[in-house]
Amino acid sequence: MSAFTEILASEKPVLVDFFAEWCGPCKVMAPVLKELKQTMGDNITIIKVDVDKNPAAASAYQIQGVPTLIVFQKGAIKWRQSGVVPVKQLQKVLEPLVN
């Protein structure tokens, strides 16, 4: 878990997608996150966390439903939302955090 914690402590905003293989809306998020990464490039880090394979991470952040997206910067939670989030909304959240 320490590598995960290290990544979250980064100056660069980190978007963590808590998802599950069986989750329909999570599959909808995959191309959205891909588009976001293409748009924002190396200004952000995107990590996908499978809640079924990482129950400790899911419970640490009280993940109730998937997908849940959380943006971290310097280890702090800057934004969090459950459900499918459009790419434009994610950009609005992330752009002010990019140095």
Which residues are tagged catalytic?
23, 26
Written as six digits, the tokens of 3 are: 């590598």
How would DSSP label each residue in 9-49? TSSS-EEEEEE-TT-HHHHHHHHHHHHHHHHHGGGSEEEEE
Return the structure tokens found at 14: 């980190």
Give Cα 2 distance to the centre of its chain: 17
